[in-house]
A and B are shown apart, each in its own frame.
Chain A
Amino acid sequence: DTGVSQDPRHKITKRGQNVTFRCDPISEHNRLYWYRQTLGQGPEFLTYFQNEAQLEKSRLLSDRFSAERPKGSFSTLEIQRTEQGDSAMYLCASSLSAPPRGPRNEQFFGPGTRLTVL
């Protein structure tokens, strides 16, 4: 399978614990995005990388959240001191950095990591 993969698929944790999620993008894609989705809502943008550089972060990304993409391949998203409000589906997507109005720059999503904070 050459799509976006995420690990783990499900994570249950207690409030106050730290959690880390991993995303492996489509191999030739140099852009990687993190989104969060709660029940009944569309995905909300958190942050994105082009290669290893983190180019944009949402105001939703509090200081408890940190994302890395050290070698420009896989990425990790860490949430420190989890809160019940962090319970959501965390989605990763990847794309090429093709011209913005051209083909081949669509974002392709992984299956997501479902986080439940008790």
Chain B
Amino acid sequence: EDQVTQSPEALRLQEGESSSLNCSYTVSGLRGLFWYRQDPGKGPEFLFTLYSAGEEKEKERLKATLTKKESFLHITAPKPEDSATYLCAVRYGGATNKLIFGTGTLLAVQP
């Protein structure tokens, strides 16, 4: 069954402690991998789209990378305001435009 899996489920970091979040996917015919940030009680906020293995995107302390099986969201020197749930989603296959989401990684950055 096509699947998107995120790990770890939760991550606690000290301010300034860099780390990576993982999103692995088993869909065929990937047409885009998307990263979103979601704060409690709010809708997901778009961060990045990746289309091809080897592609990288950066925004402030965040860097997303893509391979043929997984994507990483690297967080460099995180700050408390980076605390949120980070969601990964894929679009794949033929004509569909729906996104299939993972369950997210809850990141807590302590000062």
Q: A residues near B, CB below 8 A?
A: 4, 6, 31, 33, 35, 40-45, 48, 55-56, 58, 91, 93, 95, 100-101, 103, 106-112, 114
Contacts and interface: CB of A to CB of B under 8 A. Distances in A.
A109 B58 CA distance: 21
A111 B98 contact: no
Nearest to A92: B43
Nearest to A111: B43
B42 interface: yes
B44 A91 contact: yes
B43 A42 contact: no
Interface string B75-111: 0000000000001010100001111111110000000
B34 interface: yes
A41 B42 CA distance: 14
Contacts of B45: 109
